[in-house]
Structure 1
Amino acid sequence: MKKFIVIDGLDGSGKDTQVNMIADVYKKQGRDVTIRSHPCSDNKYGRKSKEALLKEGKVNHIKATIYFGLDAIRSVQMYCHNKNTDVVIFSRYILAVMYLPNVVNSIVYKVVTFVLPTSDCMFFLDVSPEESLRRMAGRGDEKEMFENMEDLTKNRLRSQKFTYNWNVIPGDDSAEIISEKIASKCLESDKLLS
């Protein structure tokens, strides 16, 4: 695999929009692009994670995170080491650990970043809870357990202890401004690798 890109952030931060925009940049270069948006619906771990996210309670909270992790690991195994894939882009990846209980989440994050691939093209879209809720209101999707002002505010603060080695991008900006920042960093990284 020549390029690994991750777009992460709270719900409503524009992850999937940005994944598609950066994928288009690489497709225009004639590169083979694979996109994995977690939780994925093409396997039992992703489906179980999504199922738990649509419920309430601590047990479902932990189930959602564990199944999410298994889904992401499956994607790494299937797509990141595939020699035929030129560019792999993940929407949501290892920052799901922030939803685990405090103390445990820090330990798990360190283990996960040691074991799973990382890159200099990992982006966290730092959206305000207000903007996140505004965007989600227009989607019409079923509401997940973390999609409320209290949890979005709490999780945005929690994310700060994990994003020290990420490219943090203001997520309230327009999709075009965010895309320009992501593409600029990725293309700069490409030049350094060649």
Structure 2
Amino acid sequence: MRFIIIDGLDGSGKDTHANLIQEYYLAKGEKVIVRTHPSKDNAYGINAKKALLGHGKINHIKASMYYTLDVLRSVRKYHGKAETVIMVRYLMGVAYLPFPIAKLLYMFFSTILPTSNYMFFLDVEPDELLNRLLKRNEHEMFENLNDLIKVRGKAIELAKNWHIINTGRKIEQAQLEINKILDRLDNEILSHK
């Protein structure tokens, strides 16, 4: 099974690129499952999204708690259920927490949750992210330039061993880079069989 993680800040193109990766493997005749968090089909995901749209420390804590439960549910329910499983918004949600806690939780979750060589962090400059986010109808608590700068810095630090993809350019350019990495990783797996 190919386990792909697509992570990044809001507005970085996670869903867009996850869908393009899904199409890529569907075209090869594979069964593909995509799970986006917070998900819309269970109480954990719904409550995480509701808290993200709120303000204050209580909503921050609630969002983190429900988001974690939502991801854990997805892993339990979908890991191993298709040739390719794509998790969107998986580990980097911890980057929204203060850094010492974020680093500890990242190490904890990356130890207990499945990871792989197929981990992509989609990176965009904070000012471009903010421009993209302001075009949306709903706004989450961290969608301001100051928070985007801080969270991006923490996420980049945590994603040291990931494939960091610049998605501040045309979608086709970023996806071409992703596809080349997917091909290389797939070929490495085939050569070890």
Same fold (TM over 0.5): yes
Please tell me whether residue 71 in structure 1 is matched to residue 67 in structure 2. no
Find 1:186's aligned residue among 182, 187, 192. Answer: 182
1:148 match:
144
Large movers: runs of 4+ above 3 Å: none
| Number of residue pairs the alignment of both structures matches | 190
Structure 2 gap segments, 5+ residues each: none
1:1-194 maps to which residues of 2 (within 5 A)? 2-82=1-81, 85-138=82-135, 140-194=136-190
| TM, length-normalised to structure 1 | 0.94
Provide the C-alpha distance between the structure 1 equivalents of 2:66 and 2:39, rounded to a whole number of angstroms: 11
Q: Give SS of 1:114's match.
A: helix
CA distance in 1, matches of 2:63, 2:147: 15
Q: Secondary structure at the match of 1:188?
A: helix
1:44-75 Cα deviation digits (max 9, x unpaired): 11011000000011121121112111101110
Q: Give the superposition deviation at 1:158.
A: 1.3
List runs of 5+ in structure 1 lacking aligned partners: none
TM-score between both structures, scaled by the size of structure 2: 0.95
Read off the aligned partner of 1:45 and give its amino acid letter: Y
Percent identity over the alignment is 43
Q: CA deviation at 1:101?
A: 2.4
**Aligned-pair Cα RMSD in Å:** 1.1
Shift of 1:35: 0.5
Q: Is the 8 A contact 1:128 1:171 kept in 2?
A: no
SS in 2 for 1:123: strand
Q: 1:62·1:100 contact (CA, 8 Å) conserved in 2?
A: no
